[in-house]
């Protein structure tokens, strides 16, 4: 089939690669014409995946209409806070009645909507055609053809299976799930927990500390998901604990690296200036906490991440505050 991947960052490019490796013709849209020209001329996205040779079946275009023309599968890989603006601009160029796949892991700040909800809200695409891909999928490793698994979630299992089949390669194994809320929420909250884990790493704490943050972060993720109607078992799978562990522990993770720099004493402005790609957890953390408060869900790690990245709390004070909370039973 012909697929359009809208977003030429590291994950959009890597997903476009695997679609091409699966036998599809892929057009990668990027807003930078020079980057697109370089991809077409050298078959390398030097800005986001330097040194990785892209498949011949993948081309690039800075024209969204050209990228979307005749697409039988549309994949969205732009920063979450720009999705509504981009979809509004692309408008009628997005083909109707084709699966629309979200690779994004964020909550829209103004509405607190998940990305699949933004797609349906702007494009009018029915939920049965909106799929979400989420799992332990660090782009650089997938681009290197290292074995990985993921979850394709859609309320229509047949559509999930279509996207699963389209994405299957010898190095990339997708599983299906109908729990869109749980799969999507896991991808959002794990970025917030990764910021906290990164801060612990930056402050020199060891594996006990990081394992504690990850485990209690999983509890927060699960509590919020259940309050939103998700299946708690989703968080024990690839889109939950799998993605959480990869994002919290890998130096390839943007959110972990962002938190690590904060933990080392860099100011927020300095870290933002040094970060070349979007760390989704920074902006989504406030929306996650607001949503949790609306639902009466206790999320102390998320609360303290917001205090650091939005309210000026020092990471060392965050640790002191979390460790001095009232003791209680584990749940």
pLDDT for residue 243: 97
Q: What is the pLDDT of residues 191-217, one digit of tens each?
A: 999 999 999 999 999 999 999 999 999
Report the run of H or E that residue 26 belongs to, with start and end.
strand 25-29
Every domain of the chain and the residues it spans: 2-178, 181-323
28 bridge partner residues: 5, 60
In contact, 176 and 152? CB cutoff 8 Å: yes
The token pair at 270 is 């300095």
What CATH number does the domain located at 2-178 have? 3.40.50.720
Q: What is the DSSP string of 261-286?
A: HHHTT--HHHHHHH--S--HHHHHHH
- Residue 292 pLDDT class (50, 70, 90 cuts): very high
In contact, 234 and 183? CB cutoff 8 Å: yes
Any idea which residues carry the catalytic annotation?
190
Q: What is the pLDDT of residues 218-246, one digit of tens each?
A: 999 999 999 999 999 999 999 999 999 99
In contact, 144 and 10? CB cutoff 8 Å: no
pLDDT for residue 248: 97
DSSP, collapsed to helix, strand or coil, labels residue 2 as: strand
pLDDT for residue 279: 77
Q: What is the pLDDT of residues 78-125, one digit of tens each?
A: 999 999 999 999 988 999 999 999 999 999 999 999 999 999 999 999
DSSP, collapsed to helix, strand or coil, labels residue 226 as: helix
Determine the Cα–Cα distance for residues 92 and 181; give it in Å rounded to an integer. Answer: 27
- Residue 269 pLDDT class (50, 70, 90 cuts): confident
- Residue 305 pLDDT class (50, 70, 90 cuts): very high
Q: What is the pLDDT of residues 156-196, one digit of tens each?
A: 999 999 999 999 999 999 999 999 999 999 999 999 999 99
What CATH number does the domain located at 181-323 have? 1.10.1040.10
82 bridge partner residues: none
Q: What is the pLDDT of residues 3-52, one digit of tens each?
A: 999 999 999 999 999 999 999 999 999 999 999 999 999 999 999 999 99
Residue 316 has pLDDT above 80, yes or no: yes
Question: How high is the mean pLDDT of the chain?
Answer: 95
DSSP, collapsed to helix, strand or coil, labels residue 287 as: helix
């Amino acid at each position: 089939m012909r697929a359009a991947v809208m977003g030429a960052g590291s994950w959009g490019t890597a997903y476009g690669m695997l679609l091409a490796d699966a036998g599809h013709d892929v057009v990668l849209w990027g807003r930078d014409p020079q980057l697109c020209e370089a991809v077409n001329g050298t078959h390398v996205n030097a800005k986001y995946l330097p040194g990785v040779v892209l498949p011949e079946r993948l081309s690039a275009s800075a024209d969204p209409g050209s990228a979307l023309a005749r697409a039988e599968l549309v994949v969205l890989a732009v920063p979450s806070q720009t999705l509504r603006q981009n979809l509004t601009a692309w408008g009628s160029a997005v083909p109707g009645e084709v699966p629309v796949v979200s690779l994004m892991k964020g909550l829209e700040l103004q509405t607190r909507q998940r990305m699949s909800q933004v797609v349906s809200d702007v494009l009018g695409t029915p939920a049965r055609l909106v799929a979400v891909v989420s799992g332990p999928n660090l782009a650089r490793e997938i681009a290197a053809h290292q074995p990985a698994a993921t979850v394709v979630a859609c309320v229509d299992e047949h559509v999930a299976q279509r996207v699963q089949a389209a994405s299957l390669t010898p190095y990339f194994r997708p599983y299906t799930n109908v729990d869109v809320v749980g799969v999507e929420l896991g991808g959002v909250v794990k970025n917030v927990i990764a910021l906290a884990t990164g801060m612990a790493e930056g402050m020199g704490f060891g594996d006990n500390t990081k394992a504690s943050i990850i485990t209690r972060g999983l509890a927060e993720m699960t509590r919020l998901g259940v309050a939103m109607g998700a299946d708690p078992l989703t968080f024990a799978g690839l889109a939950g604990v799998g993605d959480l562990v990869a994002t919290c522990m890998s130096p390839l993770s943007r959110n972990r690296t962002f938190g690590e720099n904060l933990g080392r004493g860099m100011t927020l402005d300095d870290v933002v200036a040094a970060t070349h790609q979007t760390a989704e957890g920074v902006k989504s953390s406030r929306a996650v906490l607001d949503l949790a408060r609306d639902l009466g869900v206790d999320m102390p790690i998320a609360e303290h991440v917001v205090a650091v990245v939005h309210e000026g709390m020092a990471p060392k004070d965050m640790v002191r505050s979390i460790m001095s909370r009232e003791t209680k039973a584990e749940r």
